[in-house]
Structure 1
């Protein structure tokens, strides 16, 4: 296949889902690299994302030399950044090095990422996965333990009140707890804390599960405007404007992810599809349940550099991702 010109973040995210099933995935990888070289990306800042995807495709076909070349270029593209995306490129390069029999080089690639474990949740996942490929689960457990201890030392209280308050600590505790279980290590105080936080969050989430069923009902902007035009009273019982609407959904998705839920999505609604009075919470809940059993949904979360789930066309990291912190 031949890729379109001016590839957007959304195009790259779609390719991530479909490229491995294509007739010539290695050809797609080569075209992604060519798009970077020829200015075929709508946003040049997506170069690292495109090259990382090319490396993953080549790695999946055991073309490790090509995968490493793409990964080298992805790391170079991210060289001025120390965020999750940059960490993922370094971790991918380390993973390919492990698979190429270059364990020392792989560890040298991962070592500088250790400080990021206490700053970025996804970085811990990428680094742990790379170490697992290299048979270094014990090293991963040690690094996660150090990250947990450092995060605990920075807190004013020895134990968070709940998983939401724990934030990054909760993620690290979960990762560490599952890894220790995998390699057969006995429970320690950090494992006990992980289980207590998980139990608290599950209990606190129980009432919410019995609440309004339209928590993940999403009205795209045009439909949201039509909704309020038809039922102005919803500004009192629903959301005042589209920004409030998508911010509420983003916070709810983050909360659900913190409970360990996977496969999260929002379900886009339409005024024409809604029958009844939308000011009635039961009507909205019934409509949401119908949408949940259908096939139309928007998966969450997108990649940081992918187009935002809300339909704005802006990158997720610059659109709804920050809204969860509001």
Structure 2
């Protein structure tokens, strides 16, 4: 089915959440590229994001030639921008280059991204993920270690994940890479453990909602989440409707306490699993709190609340006033 005209950023985020579970994801990728070509985006600044999404879909179906075309067009669309979103597209470019046997080009692309490791929270994840595709985990460990040392230079040990900022995500990702390599704990791994423990403790004791309470699982992700970890139905709800109702009520409650600029944090099972690493439990509250903090610091959040007549934040396609808004009263 053709995508509608005037696609906005929220529409693209919804497509990102649902495309891989669609009947024809490659058709959606082609439609996204067509929307860019035909000027069917509400904001042409979203062209790079739309084409990156098309590339991710094509890569997931091993259509590497198409993925490469889309991502190279995305980088052209981003032009002179230099932010985390562009960095993620460049890392995707490197990942596809690795998969097509162009290793030298992939490494050159990632080498240029090294400064972003200490600038953007999600850079550690997308750079090391690309290096993993190229079987360069040892190089990822080296780069992450150097970035951690640079971020720690001349500063005291952070007292919390918030105080650590980007360093928190560097430490987490380095810790996971070192585990994959079978390396023993060192002082930086111990710091990563301490910060994650403090984050989990803060989420448990805080009177405000922990970030993990604002993670939203789109329907396909929710079904997969509960199938893999049935105990999480006690946290997120036994059905997707129950999950949406819980989240809507919590957002309304937070608004009543004076909280502003609220957003839901769309999660994926793949992202939670990656956040847990090979030695963690995705169902553990500490792991989920750390993943929620990562989502909160990264782009892709869904602003809440939408206008009453706008599409609902849950991605159902229905108007907010007829979808999740009434759930806060149930």
Distance (whole Å) between structure 2 residues aligned to residue 213 and residue 79 of structure 1: 39
Distance (whole Å) between structure 2 residues aligned to residue 197 and residue 173 of structure 1: 9
Higher radius of gyration, 1 or 2: 1
1:200 maps to 198
The question of 1:89 aligning with 2:89 is answered yes
1:308 maps to 303
5+ residue gaps in structure 2?
A: 215-245, 267-274, 276-284, 314-330
Secondary structure of 1:5's counterpart equals coil
Q: Is the 8 A contact 1:7 1:42 kept in 2?
A: yes
**Would the alpha carbon gap of residues 132 and 43 (structure 1) be closer, same or farther in structure 2, given more than 3 Å must change?**
same
Give the CA deviation at 1:116.
0.5
Give the CA deviation at 1:205.
3.8
Q: Is the 8 A contact 1:20 1:57 kept in 2?
A: yes
**Would the alpha carbon gap of residues 205 and 262 (structure 1) be closer, same or farther in structure 2, given more than 3 Å must change?**
closer
CA-based RMSD of the aligned residues comes to 3.5
5+ residue gaps in structure 1?
A: 228-233, 266-299, 317-326
Secondary structure of 1:245's counterpart equals coil
2:224 maps to none
1:5 maps to 5
Within 5 Å, give how 1:61-72 maps onto structure 2: 61-72=61-72
**Would the alpha carbon gap of residues 206 and 101 (structure 1) be closer, same or farther in structure 2, given more than 3 Å must change?**
same
The question of 1:15 aligning with 2:10 is answered no
Within 5 Å, give how 1:92-131 maps onto structure 2: 92-131=92-131
2:80 maps to 80
Give the CA deviation at 1:39.
0.5
Q: Is the 8 A contact 2:16 2:53 kept in 1?
A: yes
Tell me the TM-score normalised to structure 2 length.
0.68
2:153 maps to 153
Q: Number of residues paired by the alignment? A: 257
**Would the alpha carbon gap of residues 10 and 264 (structure 1) be closer, same or farther in structure 2, given more than 3 Å must change?**
farther
Tell me the TM-score normalised to structure 1 length.
0.69
Q: Is the 8 A contact 2:33 2:70 kept in 1?
A: yes
1:297 maps to none
Q: Is the 8 A contact 2:200 2:290 kept in 1?
A: no
1:275 maps to none
Distance (whole Å) between structure 1 residues aligned to residue 290 and residue 63 of structure 2: 30
